[in-house]
Amino acid sequence: MTIEFSWLLENLPKNISIVVAKHWDPENGDSQGVFCIPNTNILLVHPPMSSMGHGCFHAKLMILIYDEWIRVVISSANLISHDWEISENIVFIQDFSRYNENNIINNDLHLFAKELKDYLLAMGLKSHIIDKLPQYDYSKAKAIIIPSIPGAYKGIDDVKKYGHGRLSQIVKNICEYEDVELECQSSSLGSITPEFLNEFYRSAKGLDPYIIPKQRKSKRDKEQFEENESPGPSQPSQPSQSPQALQQTQPLPPITIVFPTNKTVLNSKYTFAGAGPLCFSKKCYEQITFPKEILRKCESNRNGILMHTKFLLARFIRPSPDQLEEKRLLEQEQNRQIKINKRKIIKNKYDSDESATDSDVADVDIQETITEENILDLSQDTVTDDVHDVQRDNNIVGWYYCGSHNFTESAWGKLNVSRDTKEIQLKIYNWELGIFLPITKLRDDDDKENNIGEQRDWFRDHGVPVSYKRPPNPYEESDIPWVSLLIKSFIIKSNLYINSIFYGL
């Protein structure tokens, strides 16, 4: 998180203790640790950074302690004037009352407080705020926290602690659904591939993200690919058969990405000066694997204002009667095959010392980076059901996320296989923090869906504080996204005040 200390101290009382955590850079002489700033009431925290080459402390968390309550603020805004006065951000706030003398303080922390405690400990804090957390009642916590902490997490338990692995576990526990329409609004983008989209989509549905099916290649396709990978001296490889081209043929899940166009920025109130937090490189956009067709315009409901918010909006797709019948028949056939396979296992049990046959192996192809040897035994889910505060509810019709996570691999994590242990691992580079909230069905939902003549914002109807125009319009043929290259050239020409431009990168 970026901090403008002069602005921050102007807005805080002079007689309170302040603990500030922020991003740091060793090239500027900074180092990891907790430091007292001389002649001030400020304790400065430099959290551990990723050891994998890049990443940043990007979480935006405030814990404000009052006499009788504690206030938790999780937002998309840095502690700078630009984010609170010029650009648009999203803020989650909830107050929790202090236990009175007649209450027994529960040493078994509520999940909400436990997530905060674990996050603060990971940052390097030892006491301070941490010791005060058990003094408050979190039983009415409305949201579930989704953290990201830099690292390479191996195994089911660790994969599902952070990033989109954590999202997967939450959705699975309270509102797992087969089909979801997912809308991702982000103020920064990076390399987006069909592989990452499919991986993330599985988590958004509450499915295990580390089992990613792909379409089988025919024998002819495989031979052609191998032939192009090892061409003879007079036989150049075909560009259309490159790994990037093959990856691009993966079907895209129903995901759209909401990001401002060049026109939106140029026509905004502050034009280039307000576009500092918007980061997207031209190189990433022009990659052959980037799915340009899923981009949607990001336009604030407050005309002329640019947005630094980060949203995930998930709406469950209601299947038609025909689809339900097709699903029923498919499940019926699958159950029949399971019974047949069980009979084969019992029969073969007495004919072989092996406890399983080829018929027991699921006919699932796994992407190249995740081989069948890496797949864990999913018949026994070892993940603890720690989302104990929200019960599964059939009235849940969707969910949403808001916080600091941009829609990037660095923020949410990307699955691959560890070279050392050959285990599946989730690699995360950034510190991030956000909240998850389920969306419940309204009494008149059916009437609203049947009212085709009126274009409504389904999410706003369900109480989601979406601040951009919905549904977002697709990019026109002449549209391009706002890319960082444009603002860099403008800064060089106009010598803008750079510290007010590049907040929140």
Q: Which residue has the higher pLDDT, 445 or 398?
A: 398
**Confidence grade of residue 269 (pLDDT, cut at 50, 70, 90):** very high
Rounded Cα distance, 437 and 459, in Å: 12
Domain boundaries, given as residue ranges, for the chain = 5-145, 147-217+240-317+384-500, 321-369
Rg (CA), the chain: 25
269 labelled binding-site residue: no
Which pLDDT belongs to residue 377? 31
CA–CA distances in Å: residue 463 to residues 393, 398, 399, 439: 18, 12, 11, 8
Q: Quick check: do 5-145 and 147-217+240-317+384-500 share a fold?
A: yes
As beta bridge partners, residue 45 has: 21, 34
| Mean of pLDDT values over 338-343 | 65
Which pLDDT belongs to residue 252? 94
Residue with tokens 């010598």: 495
By three-state DSSP, how is residue 374 classified? helix
Residue 195: both structure tokens together: 């592989």
Residue 481: both structure tokens together: 């996204």
Q: Residue 400: in which H helix or E strand, if any?
A: strand 396-403
Kindly state the DSSP code that residue 355 receives in the 8-state scheme: S
| Mean of pLDDT values over 330-356 | 59
Residue with tokens 């991003």: 23
Of 436, 435, 430, 434, the closest CA to residue 411 belongs to 430
As beta bridge partners, residue 9 has: none
pLDDT tens digits for range 210-268: 764 444 444 444 444 444 444 444 444 444 444 444 455 678 999 999 999 999 999 99
Which pLDDT belongs to residue 387? 47
Rounded Cα distance, 469 and 237, in Å: 46
Q: Are 31 and 24 in contact (CB under 8 A)?
A: yes
The end-to-end CA distance of the chain, in Å, is 9
Residue 117 has pLDDT above 70, yes or no: yes
Which pLDDT belongs to residue 334? 64
Residue 460 has pLDDT above 60, yes or no: yes
Rounded Cα distance, 306 and 464, in Å: 19
Q: Which CATH architecture has domain 147-217+240-317+384-500?
A: 2-Layer Sandwich (3.30)
Residue 360: both structure tokens together: 């027991």
Rounded Cα distance, 19 and 42, in Å: 6
Counting residues of the chain whose pLDDT is more than 90, the rounded percentage is: 46
Q: Which CATH architecture has domain 5-145?
A: 2-Layer Sandwich (3.30)
60 labelled binding-site residue: yes
3-state secondary structure 435-486: EEEEEECCCCHHHHHHCCCCCCCHHHHCCCCCCECCCCCECCCCCCECCHHH
Q: Which long-range contacts (CB under 8 A, 24 or more apart) does 12-19 make?
A: 14/41, 15/41, 16/41, 17/41, 17/43, 17/128, 18/42, 18/43, 19/43, 19/45, 19/125, 19/128, 19/129
pLDDT tens digits for range 309-320: 999 999 998 777
| Mean of pLDDT values over 78-93 | 94
Residue 487 has pLDDT above 60, yes or no: no
By three-state DSSP, how is residue 292 classified? helix
Q: Which residue has the higher pLDDT, 493 or 410?
A: 410
Of 165, 427, 469, the closest CA to residue 298 belongs to 469
Q: Which residues contact 425 (CB under 8 A, 6 or more apart)?
A: 152, 153, 154, 159, 415, 416, 417, 418
Catalytic residues: 58, 308
CA–CA distances in Å: residue 176 to residues 34, 146, 321, 348: 41, 17, 20, 36
Residue 18 has pLDDT above 80, yes or no: yes
Rounded Cα distance, 180 and 202, in Å: 10
DSSP string, 105-162: P-SS--HHHHHHHHHHHHHT--STHHHHGGGB--TT---EEEEE-SEEEEHHHHHTTS
**Confidence grade of residue 453 (pLDDT, cut at 50, 70, 90):** very low
Q: Residue 321: in which H helix or E strand, if any?
A: helix 321-349
Residue 411: both structure tokens together: 């923020």
Rounded Cα distance, 205 and 202, in Å: 5
Which pLDDT belongs to residue 165? 96
Which pLDDT belongs to residue 485? 54
Which pLDDT belongs to residue 343? 65
DSSP string, 256-281: EEE--BHHHHHTSSSGGGG-TT-B--
Residue 42 backbone dihedrals phi, psi, to 5 degrees: -110, 130
